[in-house]
Structure 1
Amino acid sequence: MTGRVYRSSRSGGGDQPDPPAPPAGAGVAGHSATMAVLSLVSRGTGFLRTAAVVAAVGALTVGDAYGTAQFFPAMIYEFLLGGILSSVLVPVLVRRRRADADGGQEYAQRLLSLAVLALGAATVLAVVAAPLLTAVFAGAGSGEQFRRVVTLLSYLMLPMMFFSGLSALFTAILNTRGHFAAPTWAPILNNLVVIVTAGLFYAAYGPGRPELTDMSAGPVLLLGGGTLLGVAVQAAGMWPALRRVGFGWRWRGEFRKLELSELGRLGAWMFCYVAVSQVGVLVLLRLLNSAASEPGGAAGVMIYNNAYLLMMMAHGIVAVSLITALLPRMSAAAADFRLTDLAADLSRGVRTATAVLAPVVVVFGVLALPIAVTLFEHGAVEAAESRRLADVLVVAAVALIPFALSQLFTFAFYALPDTRTPALVNIPVVALRVLVQVALFYALGSALTAVGVMVGNAVSYVAAAVVSATLLRGRIGRIGLRGIVTTFAKITVAAGGAGLAGWLVTGLLPGGENLSGGQAVSHLALGGVVIGGAYLGLARLLRLREIDEVLGLVVRKLRR
């Protein structure tokens, strides 16, 4: 039964010191705040990265080809190892760190050795299969030139999965040793490399919008190779931190000592979870590429992906920071059968994540067009593409909080450790998502495909959050539903008031639906200040404790 909770015990001889305990309440908040600050910088450079790439390659044709090729390494990595590395390993490493006489050092070294072999073999097979991947995911009617460019870029970008796997394992090892900073700022290195790559591409092949026929060996090598280099630099950037926490890697065989049956049992359900998710990604890519191939230039992969990345930026700064800090703590609570503590941490995470993400939802919803124009209407991007992006971003705003909560609940299951329940929940959730997306594709037509795809995402995230919360309550007991509902009510009032204030103020500014770059910046700056100020003011008036705690923590850190 994968839902079984394990009690850790010391093994081996000697008086080895116990490894550091996971941070307590204040520690979780402190680690979350530190990661949030670093994530803000990281996601800020991610903004620049996305804007630079879009400005260089455009949001159509070449941009869609680049976006499709980027999906491949992420999909295969997640399908084969990513889900296991990112979710199963932290609870396992926590238990081994508490139970093994050497603090889990030899276990982690052996695990890294096995991961290098597995990732290397998977990468070689994926590169060989690049043409097949293009044929499956490109979509009907995408054209020979489009498939050619996707395949060429894939040859260079598929090895990203190897370095992504190393990064995930490095992150797990660092987190179980109480170090959260390096995995949060290492993506900055990746972003900087890709920004430079996009700049070189624009300088060499710009300033006009590149066409698929322009993508000869030179531009493909620069674009794909630079993207691969960024991921490799990100993985290498975490190595000094590993040395500082006392982890030194030496090659270790004898993989039977890893007790792979436990990893296999947990990982099998994680594999099921990821496999089902990739079916959803397959449908998504084919719908978007089919729509983009229609006359009129409908929003395709690049436009959808930019809106999705903005949503994930907010999720990464807030929810991922909370999850990363809470997962070792919840795993330790589960290992010691302290399910009441686990439930309390989960409840706190739900309330805090929602309270902090709510103003972001309002900003995305009210200021979608100024955001799109300010960030992406440069270089090869035209005004019509900014409007399409804004439409998708409005729906992404609705999806943000349900997505964050569904992820938080999923990681609570992983802490138990239980990968079976999330995998089973994911099957009807992905089926619902695909059903909604396909139905809207035929109902709305190709012009609104990206919007319909994001609507399908939002519906499925709500379903996943509701089902997961219900099942968790049966496993760990009450999670403070009354307090959560009260907090949600206050957040709704504060967010509604802030949204109204932002809408009224920006409605008085010049520009309307035809914003220039300068007007978009003024709308974004003034609207953002009004929305943020109104939300904070109403939150204080309503005594929204979670906002007070976050503000107090920020003030204390600034004073230091």
Structure 2
Amino acid sequence: MTSPSGVRRGAALMASGTAVSRVLGLLRGIVLVAAIGATGQAADAFDVANKLPNVLYMLLAGGVLNAILVPQVVRAYKREAGQEYVDRLLTLGFVMLAGVSLVLTVAAPLLVHLYAADVPPSQATLATTFAYWCIPQLFFYGVYALLGQVLNARGSFGPYMWAPVVNNVVAIAGFGVFVVVFGSAQQTDVATAATWTSGQVALLAGASTAGVVAQALVLVPALRRAGVGYRPRWGLRGSGLGRAGQVATWTFVGLVVGQLGFIVVSRAAAAAPHAADGGVVAGNAAYTAAFLVFMLPHSLVTVSLATALFTRLSGQAHDEDADGVRATFSYGVRVVGLFTIAAAALLFVLSRPVTGIVLMTADRESVEVVALVVQAMVVGLPAFGAWSMAQRVFYAYEDARGMVPIQVAMAVVVAGGTLLAQAFLPPRSWVVGAALAMSVSYVVGAVAAAWLLRRRIGGVDGPRILRLHVRATLAVLPAVAVAATATRVLALALPDGLLRAVVTCVVAGGLGGAVYVGALRLLRVEELDGMLRPVLARLRGARR
């Protein structure tokens, strides 16, 4: 079982890898926007095609791997034939990924139509062409996840979180070459789908796919260093995969339900620019750009901590240690809440300058429409963190079935909210309405999951979690006031542009963060020290 100090070190190592990856991810987004813009036919076409492998991976493999692989591998390495079991699991996973990737690549036109129906024919054709290049990424995303989760189960957390750095470097280089060869979006008519050539498609989509391939392959040496000597093994009889298959089935059902809601969002986002009476309108590319900003604090803290805690939760669940599970879950929710409450509040205030940095190569109108989507998303950030931690507990108990009713409710909220936005709001606000519905769904998911977990683990330490969130909310109020005041002062002192956006984020965000930390100190929030300790230790080590 992983010790608390080991969890903190693992979380810090993963957070550092995630931080570098996210910074490079922002740079990747900046270069991509420079190449094809943040709104328009080409940007939306590429966004639909490039997110298909991510969506399909999450649907067909991602959640299934989270649900079965870590608990199964943790158990496997506690018995003599553990490596043989892992070999069989990996072999089965590789073969299934290859077959599914091939079938879905052939089905690219149907998938594009499913996620983006009401678009001009030229945009649909371009999106389909992009999809033929991008959907094979599904196989390599799956390989990355399979190998990475085995490394995590072996206590090797770093490579899994650092591998995306390679992906981003390769993609940035490819997108940069695209700008050099074909010019930037502001210099050409690249935003119009009908103008694209096969060379442009191959370079842009090929660079994106090459990055994912590299991300998977760099884990192979790390696997060997961790002492995992994989070799293909066939045959499922007696391997114990039947139980894993049941968990995977229910995980798949839950993810399908979630995707039904997301399809409604994607189709609304695809239709919005075409339904509006001209001008810059948020579409799929704008939604993805906003989601990138939304995911920054989640990726840096929630994912890193949850991944480190998951192995521990799996061991406690296996040992029927309900008290241990409850304590680990409570710790995770409290620490995550400590960061996400501040991140949500400060991102809401700084949405315009933050979006301006992320989309520094985009026009002012595009930045404005994406910033509104960011605000609608970040209000649900704390609930998203709590829901993510609750999911890990269900997966630790291999109870994917128990989450399905929650996922149904969340999908209904997302789809219903998006349809209401289409019915009562102008097309320019459809994506904002969809983002707000997504935030509400996270609240529903977090509350419902906590209620269900109470019966399984004898409570969720609710009073302690609630006290932490109340104190964090009290601490963030003066931080928001300081950040908002600084933002207004800088808006008067500096001209609009990238320089003001950067200075505002540094000064207003820094002041707001300092006030928040100071207020937490005054309120004696002990979770703050628990999360800052490994970070300070790493800084001291760097000075030496």
Which category of TM-score, normalised to the shorter sequence, fits these structures?
over 0.9
* Cα distance change on mapping 1:478 and 1:513 into 2, 3 Å: farther
Partner of 1:449: 430
Partner of 1:204: 181
Alpha-carbon displacement from aligned partner over 1:56-94 (angstroms, at most 9, x marks no partner): 110121111111002211222232222211332111111
Q: Measure the CA separation in 1 of the matches of 2:241 and 2:535.
A: 43
Q: Measure the CA separation in 2 of the matches of 1:91 and 1:308.
A: 30
Q: Contact (CA 8 Å) 1:511, 1:519: kept in 2 or not? A: no
Query: C-alpha displacement at 1:147, in angstroms?
Result: 0.6
Q: Contact (CA 8 Å) 1:499, 1:531: kept in 2 or not? A: yes
Aligned residue among 126, 132, 139 for 1:149: 126
Question: Which amino acid letter does the alignment assign opposite residue 125 of structure 1?
Answer: V
Q: Measure the CA separation in 1 of the matches of 2:115 and 2:531.
A: 43
Q: Contact (CA 8 Å) 1:373, 1:515: kept in 2 or not? A: no
* Cα distance change on mapping 1:215 and 1:258 into 2, 3 Å: farther
Partner of 1:187: 164
Alpha-carbon displacement from aligned partner over 1:113-136 (angstroms, at most 9, x marks no partner): 111211111111111111111222
Alpha-carbon displacement from aligned partner over 1:222-256 (angstroms, at most 9, x marks no partner): 11111111000000011111001111221111133
Q: Contact (CA 8 Å) 1:343, 1:476: kept in 2 or not? A: yes
Q: Contact (CA 8 Å) 2:66, 2:395: kept in 1 or not? A: no
Q: Measure the CA separation in 2 of the matches of 1:237 and 1:313.
A: 24
Query: Structure 2 matches for 1:103-502, cutoff 5 A?
Result: 104-140=82-118, 142-207=119-184, 208-209=187-188, 210=190, 211-294=192-275, 295-378=278-361, 381-502=362-483
Question: Which amino acid letter does the alignment assign opposite residue 520 of structure 1?
Answer: A
SS at match of 1:227: helix
Q: Contact (CA 8 Å) 1:356, 1:547: kept in 2 or not? A: no
- Structure 1 residue 544 corresponds to structure 2 residue 525: yes
Alpha-carbon displacement from aligned partner over 1:10-50 (angstroms, at most 9, x marks no partner): xxxxxxxxxxxx31122212211221122111111111111
- Structure 1 residue 49 corresponds to structure 2 residue 28: yes
Query: C-alpha displacement at 1:326, in angstroms?
Result: 0.8
Alpha-carbon displacement from aligned partner over 1:335-388 (angstroms, at most 9, x marks no partner): 11111000000000010001122222122111111111122031xx21100001
CA RMSD, Structure 1 to Structure 2 (Å): 1.5
Q: Measure the CA separation in 2 of the matches of 1:367 and 1:291.
A: 26
Q: Measure the CA separation in 2 of the matches of 1:84 and 1:374.
A: 35
Query: Structure 2 matches for 1:69-80, cutoff 5 A?
Result: 69-80=49-60
Query: C-alpha displacement at 1:260, in angstroms?
Result: 2.7
* Cα distance change on mapping 1:511 and 1:195 into 2, 3 Å: farther
Q: Measure the CA separation in 2 of the matches of 1:375 and 1:302.
A: 13
TM-score by length of 1: 0.93
Question: Which amino acid letter does the alignment assign opposite residue 453 of structure 1?
Answer: A
Q: Measure the CA separation in 2 of the matches of 1:373 and 1:77.
A: 30
Q: Contact (CA 8 Å) 1:135, 1:147: kept in 2 or not? A: yes
Which stretch shifts more, 174-183 or 353-362? Answer: 353-362
Q: Measure the CA separation in 1 of the matches of 2:67 and 2:300.
A: 19
Query: C-alpha displacement at 1:557, in angstroms?
Result: 2.4
Unmatched 5+ residue regions in structure 2?
A: none
Task: Report how many residues are paired.
Answer: 534
Partner of 2:2: 23
Q: Measure the CA separation in 2 of the matches of 1:556 and 1:199.
A: 37
Question: Which amino acid letter does the alignment assign opposite residue 389 of structure 1?
Answer: V
Q: Measure the CA separation in 1 of the matches of 2:55 and 2:359.
A: 25
Q: Measure the CA separation in 2 of the matches of 1:320 and 1:311.
A: 13
* Cα distance change on mapping 1:512 and 1:365 into 2, 3 Å: farther
% identical aligned pairs:
32
Question: Which amino acid letter does the alignment assign opposite residue 179 of structure 2?
Answer: Y
Question: Which amino acid letter does the alignment assign opposite residue 429 of structure 1?
Answer: M
Q: Measure the CA separation in 2 of the matches of 1:473 and 1:324.
A: 22
Q: Measure the CA separation in 2 of the matches of 1:136 and 1:351.
A: 39
SS at match of 1:255: coil
Question: Which amino acid letter does the alignment assign opposite residue 388 of structure 1?
Answer: V
Q: Measure the CA separation in 2 of the matches of 1:171 and 1:161.
A: 15
